Structure 1
Amino acid sequence: MASCSESQVDLDTIPLVALNMSLRKKLGLYLNPRNMVAADWMAVAETMGFTYLEIKNYEASKSPTETVLEDWRARNKDATVGKLLSILEEVERKDIVEDLRPLIDENVKKYCESLKKKAEPPVQVAEVDSCLPVVPERVGITLEDDPEAPELFDAFICYCQSDFEFVHEMIRELEQTEYKLKLCVFDRDVLPGSCVWTITSELIEKRCKRMVVVISDEYLDSDACDFQTKFALSLCPGARNKRLIPVKYKPMKKPFPSILRFLTLCDYTRPCTKSWFWVRLARALSQP
């Protein structure tokens, strides 16, 4: 749990998600350029524990620094703001720490304030009219949302937590390669603090062109996945031509969900078609 006492904030307890996308992009401006004198993103990635092959693959990313930070956060529970600052000092980039420290402190302050608001009891409303429509377009629900231009995605990824390692591979294969697709991964892209069902519905219906459903035995037991799948299927054909793409990446003991049997499956478990898997999926998601 993050320590956000008013007297002093322990940065070693503040998760990396507290740093917004604007600040991560600024870090990229310092670290992305290859530097023969000062340490660049490669030195940071190596200090974080990434392998040589992983680092070489990151070179294809639009912003290697941002990709490394995201992957580090996804695989490491100790990925905190304090640990990041320690790594920057370890690779002798104190200049970055000094230049960006005011912005970092501001981000951490806002993060702590959001935690405090979540802990407060809800405000009681005197009267609620259930007939009033929900605001048609919400902003500020994803990391890169802009009040004038809500963030849009090529596909919403429906998955359960036990399948996140495959989702991580999907991110590398579809976002960080020549396909340059933009995936909506709830744990990565959605800001904490709002109603899960409301945000999920809006993302699927209004922000994402398609939905990829990662099928597994665990998926069949997930209430969240069940809701997301049924909601997407309930949308009328005119709702941005919504199309579901079921993906099976490992053998299953339970029967394949009957609700998705009429859709063409993208099967990662078949050796004869595995080499075409990512190409087929990327092409399907790239369709207008």
Structure 2
Amino acid sequence: MSETPIEYCLKLSNMACSDPDVDFDSIPLAALNVTVRKKLGLYLNPKNAVAADWMAVAESMDFTYLEIKNYAASKNPTTMVLDDWQARSSGATVGRLLSILKKVERNDIVEDLQPLIDDNVRRYCVNQKKSAAPLQVQEVDSCFPRTPERNAMTLEDDPEGAPELFDAFICYCQSDFHFVHEMIRELEQTDYKLKLCVFDRDVLPGSCVWTITSELIEKRCKRMVVVISDEYLDSDACDFQTKFALSLCPGARNKRLIPVVYKTMTKPFPSILRFLTICDYTKPCTQAWFWVRLAKALSLP
């Protein structure tokens, strides 16, 4: 009988991942940490007359000419390419990345970074092993976690009943809260009757922010609206929420994440969201359709 992916990862946890039997194509690109990505940038960012740079890698990942031209304006185009590839493609794996580096004849990178990549993959497999351990409970009465923290996250949660559900989680920074108030008026207090999850209004205090946020985005909210602004780009919380939501829907197959721009920006639009259709409130000629389009997207099954 062949091994399952989980069983295979368990076997890898105490092995050196440079073993030729290891299937790197089963390891997602998310397994590579910041250190490895920075070192890849050190190799690929400089233009090199005799060796392939990040542009050749991006072409092999099927990025378009215009996308590559936009990345060229970044200080670290390699990191941006990796982040976008990871967000938009279910085939973004460690094995595929290594194959691309070999295809563009950058075996020097593969050889130099192999120990670090092996260590990252080993750590990923160990974490998979931990998460795969079964929880022994006396009774299972719901698909939702039944710990006290997750049973009482929001104002309307009933600890003895079903958890409160929402049409959308609103990702925003504090400086944009006035627009969130307008969103509440337009989407909740009109005929649309949508139910939004606004963290400062709906979430009870005293719980771990990251645990509660991920639980809400993944299991309580059908979609997430991201309010994009210059301040958003500097928010660690917004960055976490956006990347977590993108990881749940590679390639945006179910319109789970909806970017919204409500004021003119002076900083570049986040590259990780460039492949998504945005809802733009800054254009006077289309502003009249803004709330209708957003409400329709949030109302989809």
TM-score normalised by L of structure 2: 0.50
Number of the residue aligned with 2:154: 142
Number of the residue aligned with 1:7: none
Structure-1 separation of matches of 2:154 and 2:276: 29
Number of the residue aligned with 2:222: 209
Shift of 1:235: 1.2
Structure-1 separation of matches of 2:265 and 2:216: 28
Pairing 1:126-205 to 2, within 5 Å after superposition: 136-137=145-146, 138-147=150-159, 148-205=161-218
Structure-2 separation of matches of 1:184 and 1:152: 9
Shift of 1:237: 5.8
Query: Against the structure 1 CA distance between its residues 155 and 167, is the aligned structure 2 distance closer, same or farther, given a 3 Å change threshold?
Result: same
Query: 1:281 aligned to 277, 294, 300, which one?
Result: 294
Number of the residue aligned with 2:9: none
Larger Rg: 2
Structure-1 separation of matches of 2:157 and 2:235: 28
Structure-1 separation of matches of 2:250 and 2:269: 24
Number of the residue aligned with 1:87: none
Task: Say if 2:252 and 2:276, in contact at 8 Å, map to a contact too.
Answer: no
2:231 match: secondary structure: helix
Structure-2 separation of matches of 1:205 and 1:172: 25
Structure-2 separation of matches of 1:162 and 1:173: 19
Query: 2:243 aligned to 225, 230, 234, which one?
Result: 230
CA RMSD of aligned residues (A): 2.4
Query: 1:265 aligned to 278, 282, 299, which one?
Result: 278
Pairing 1:1-288 to 2, within 5 Å after superposition: 136-137=145-146, 138-147=150-159, 148-236=161-249, 241=254, 243-288=256-301
Structure-2 separation of matches of 1:192 and 1:204: 17
1:217 match: secondary structure: coil
Task: Kindly provide the amino acid, as one letter, of the partner of residue 274 in structure 2.
Answer: R
Task: Kindly provide the amino acid, as one letter, of the partner of residue 156 in structure 2.
Answer: E
Query: Against the structure 1 CA distance between its residues 242 and 150, is the aligned structure 2 distance closer, same or farther, given a 3 Å change threshold?
Result: farther
Query: Against the structure 1 CA distance between its residues 180 and 240, is the aligned structure 2 distance closer, same or farther, given a 3 Å change threshold?
Result: farther
Task: Kindly provide the amino acid, as one letter, of the partner of residue 145 in structure 2.
Answer: P
Query: Against the structure 1 CA distance between its residues 200 and 210, is the aligned structure 2 distance closer, same or farther, given a 3 Å change threshold?
Result: same
Task: Say if 1:140 and 1:146, in contact at 8 Å, map to a contact too.
Answer: yes
Shift of 1:136: 3.2
Task: Say if 1:158 and 1:213, in contact at 8 Å, map to a contact too.
Answer: yes
Query: Against the structure 1 CA distance between its residues 264 and 240, is the aligned structure 2 distance closer, same or farther, given a 3 Å change threshold?
Result: closer
Task: Kindly provide the amino acid, as one letter, of the partner of residue 232 in structure 1.
Answer: A
Task: Say if 2:226 and 2:259, in contact at 8 Å, map to a contact too.
Answer: yes
CA deviation map 1:180-225 (0-9, x unaligned): 0000000000000000000000000000000000000000000000
CA deviation map 1:139-178 (0-9, x unaligned): 1000000121100000000000000000000000000000
